[in-house]
Structure 1
């Protein structure tokens, strides 16, 4: 019965892809959870910890823990804002940028492996449909609906 349910299949795909990516990122000394932060900073530039948590969909305590580890690993640096010394922005270091390039390659390879059984049209369609589902879920969360 579970095998025919959408949420189960989506969760199963997510967990398998996450495991596939984590097995490879650990080999380049990037811990689980760090890869999406690296990619987020690479795409959006310096961000506050709160913005990182929101974009990566991780809670405040996990964000703090991951950022502290990444700072010790010299993948990121925290810089105070000139206008507000209490406000910090997270920046990628040179090493962080190198790790991000490797993570991007791993994720690209993951996409190729995951989607290899689908035609180009099917690949575009599944991405479109997942975006639609995410938009619906985001609207539900914004409005506080928990049906």
Structure 2
């Protein structure tokens, strides 16, 4: 009887040590963040009004499914000045239709280098960035 109890206790201790040694296999473990794909579209610049128009990006999973509800920041390439922020819709598209350009942003930098659309990532998705140009509209 004592041997059976000792064996059961030894088995229980072994099972507990295996479960605590490999947390990735534990129940409720979070999978690693998923990779995404982003595409930025050509934007335009209204020089007189000092506004950027139609800055747009689409974020999808690697197999092409759109990802809604992601906050996307639109920034200048190079200087990294913030221009606007939008959230992806059901088609995975985030768009800043028109937004004023703050004075420290160089219009020449926008025209030469373009803009970046950046999703900073969260616990489900990895960060992703897309780049495109801006022309005079």
More strand by share: 2
> Is the TM value for this pair above 0.5?
no
More helix by share: 1
TM-score by length of 2: 0.21
Larger radius of gyration: 2
